[in-house]
């Protein structure tokens, strides 16, 4: 298949030549949280057929944005990971997420799927670095069966799939309530107060949580 191009000698157009196809940026989004197997990507991107997924991954690899790896033991299975060039798309993807939180989210449509693992990147998108200055803490989040953690270190954040070894605080919430928090129908603090979510661990660290992650106020386009 011939690669489509804007035929413009412009950095923006050249970038869109690489990542502007449907599903491509969402594949980048998935890989920004770590290497994924083909089946992992298929499960996270429902609606993306096997053939098109294979084609998109092949193009990303040929364009130098991803490469194949073998996961370490005990998995030892083939997977896809971002190259240095692919990783540097991270700030652009996070900027799109922040824009979407402000201008595009609105209410969840009946046909829309949701995957709790997307919050791993979402936490980075709404992280307030200034509010985290001087704080060192590890937060573990449990959304139904999905577990991930955030490591905050003096104004920086690292978010990773899987449990933390020694979390300072643990927050548990079901998917339906988490979606309501994402849609701003209630705050995380309200969810905890009403029992829809639970939190345990260092009280100082838990109090800091309210200021670390800020959803931008929604606006009408």
Q: State the CATH number of the domain containing residue 207.
A: 3.30.1050.10
Distance CA 75, CA 35 (A): 12
In this prediction, residue 148 carries a pLDDT of: 96
- Whether residue 6 is contained in a domain is answered as no
Together in a domain, 83 and 122:
no
Q: Are 6 and 13 in contact (CB under 8 A)?
A: yes
Together in a domain, 172 and 208:
yes
Together in a domain, 128 and 200:
yes
- Whether residue 108 is contained in a domain is answered as no
In this prediction, residue 184 carries a pLDDT of: 85
- Whether residue 103 is contained in a domain is answered as no
- Whether residue 219 is contained in a domain is answered as no
Number of domains composing the chain = 2
Domain of 64, in residue numbers: 11-88
In this prediction, residue 2 carries a pLDDT of: 60
| Predicted TM-score (pTM) of this structure | 0.90
Together in a domain, 66 and 133:
no
Together in a domain, 57 and 128:
no
Q: 85-112: buried (b, 16+ CB within 10 Å) or exposed (e) per residue? A: ebeebbeebbeebeeebeeeeeeeeeee
- Whether residue 181 is contained in a domain is answered as yes
Together in a domain, 73 and 157:
no
- Determine how many CB atoms are found less than 10 A away from the CB of residue 196: 17
Together in a domain, 138 and 181:
yes
Spans of the chain, pLDDT less than 70:
1-2
In this prediction, residue 106 carries a pLDDT of: 84
Q: Are 184 and 219 in contact (CB under 8 A)?
A: no
Q: Which residues pair with 68 in a beta bridge?
A: 80
- Whether residue 111 is contained in a domain is answered as no
Together in a domain, 78 and 124:
no
- Whether residue 107 is contained in a domain is answered as no
């Amino acid at each position: 298949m011939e690669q489509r191009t804007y035929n413009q000698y412009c950095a923006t157009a050249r970038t869109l030549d690489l990542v502007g196809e449907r599903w491509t940026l969402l594949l980048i989004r998935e890989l920004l949280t770590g290497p994924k197997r083909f089946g992992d990507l298929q499960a996270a991107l429902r609606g993306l057929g096997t053939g098109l997924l294979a084609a998109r991954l092949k193009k990303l690899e040929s364009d130098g944005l991803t490469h194949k790896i073998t996961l370490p033991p005990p998995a030892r299975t083939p997977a896809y990971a971002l190259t240095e060039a692919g990783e540097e798309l991270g700030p652009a993807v996070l900027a799109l997420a922040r824009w979407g939180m402000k201008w595009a989210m609105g209410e969840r449509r009946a046909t829309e799927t949701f995957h709790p693992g997307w919050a791993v990147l979402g936490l980075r998108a709404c992280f307030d670095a200034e509010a985290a200055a001087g704080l060192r803490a590890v937060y573990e989040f449990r959304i139904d069966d999905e577990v991930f953690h955030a490591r905050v270190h003096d104004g920086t954040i690292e978010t990773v799939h899987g449990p933390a070894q020694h979390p300072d605080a643990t927050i548990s919430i079901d998917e339906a309530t988490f979606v309501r928090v994402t849609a701003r129908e209630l705050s995380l603090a309200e969810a905890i107060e009403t029992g829809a979510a639970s939190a345990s661990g260092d009280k100082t660290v838990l109090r800091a949580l309210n200021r670390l992650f800020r959803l931008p106020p929604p606006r009408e386009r």
